[in-house]
Structure 1
Amino acid sequence: MLATMERVEILQFSEDLAAMIIESEIGEDYFISLYKLQSDREAQRKIQDFTKLKDAYEEVQRFGKYHPDYKRVSEETRKLKREMDLHPTVAAFKKAETSLQLVLDEISMILGKSVSEHIKVPTGSPFFQSSCSGGCGSGGSCGCS
């Protein structure tokens, strides 16, 4: 691949942008909450317990309500998920993660639209998705014409 000055500049700008995101308040909040989550033994135990039960839940889901442990595993999974999500360290991490994701989604949209209005940027956030992004391929069933 031939390196041109334009490509070198684009790489430098992308590295600078990444550094700015990491050093931003949102980026720092994310890394601080990640460190706290990784250091919190109780939170880690809850995550591990939920992960183990989630594997059992996926096994039960293969058979649905006909599995003998369906009701017990389903209820226990919801209970452990709620306990895990309500733990202060986990909740703080999820909040910081969502904030960072929103910033990354917005940057992706700005970059994509600066290249072309027809570029589809997967964001995973309905806030950034529009029903008329130009050629959805569904024949108008999504509401765009």
Structure 2
Amino acid sequence: MIMTSEWVFILDEAEEISAMILSSEQAQKLRSAYDEVYSDENLVHQINAFNRMKEQYEDVQRFGKYHPDYHTIMKQIRQQKRSLDLDERVANLKIVENDFQDLLDEISLIIGKSVSEAVKVPVSNPFFATSSSSCGTGCGTGGSCSCSA
């Protein structure tokens, strides 16, 4: 591929957008919330214990209720998840992560639509998902809703 002045311009614009994203209020809040969670050794220990429990949970899921530790692990993982979810710092981190993801989704949509209205941009928030088909984001039934699947 030959580097043209158009490519250089596009790369410069991409770097500028990247710098703007990294200096945005949402990015700063995300860094702050992340630091708040991962600076507490006790909370980091809880998160690591939960991650180890998730590995056991995945092992249990392979065998289902026939696994010898099924009930124990299912109960423990729910308790650990609940404990983490109730921590204010973890909850704040999740909210801030969602806000940052919304910013990235908006930017992706703007860039995608500037190329063409037909560009499909994956987004995490259904609020941003717009489609020209009659069934919205897809019915998954192969056209039984009278959409053009």
CA distance in 2, matches of 1:118, 1:142: 22
Tell me which residue corresponds to 2:3: 3
How many angstroms does 1:35 deviate by?
Answer: 1.8
Contact kept in structure 1, 2:101 and 2:124, CA below 8 Å = no
Tell me which residue corresponds to 1:93: 93
Q: Amino acid of the residue matched to residue 67 of structure 1?
A: H
Q: Which range is displaced more, 116-125 or 42-51?
A: 116-125
How many angstroms does 1:131 deviate by?
Answer: 5.0
Q: Which range is displaced more, 23-32 or 121-130?
A: 121-130
Tell me which residue corresponds to 1:45: 45
Pair 1:140 & 2:143 matched = yes
1:118-138 C-alpha deviation (Å, 9 max, x unpaired): 111111222222354699997
Q: What are the ranges of 5 or more consecutive residues in structure 1 without an aligned counterpart? A: none
How many angstroms does 1:46 deviate by?
Answer: 1.1
How many angstroms does 1:102 deviate by?
Answer: 0.4
Contact kept in structure 2, 1:30 and 1:96, CA below 8 Å = yes
CA distance in 2, matches of 1:88, 1:110: 33
Q: Which range is displaced more, 127-136 or 116-125?
A: 127-136
Change (3 A) 1:113 1:64: same
Change (3 A) 1:36 1:80: same
Any runs of at least 4 consecutive aligned residues in structure 1 with deviations exceeding 6 A, and if so which? 134-138
Tell me which residue corresponds to 2:128: 128
1:62-111 C-alpha deviation (Å, 9 max, x unpaired): 01112121122111111101111221221221111110000001110111
Change (3 A) 1:76 1:47: same
Pair 1:115 & 2:118 matched = no
Q: Amino acid of the residue matched to residue 93 of structure 2?
A: F
Q: What are the ranges of 5 or more consecutive residues in structure 2 without an aligned counterpart? A: none
| Count of matched residue positions in the alignment of Structure 1 and Structure 2 | 145
Tell me which residue corresponds to 2:69: 69
Give the secondary structure class of the aligned counterpart of 1:6: helix
CA distance in 1, matches of 2:75, 2:130: 36
Change (3 A) 1:142 1:94: farther
Give the secondary structure class of the aligned counterpart of 1:118: coil
State percent identity of aligned pairs: 48
**What is the TM-score with the length of structure 1 in the denominator?**
0.88
Q: CA RMSD in A?
A: 2.3
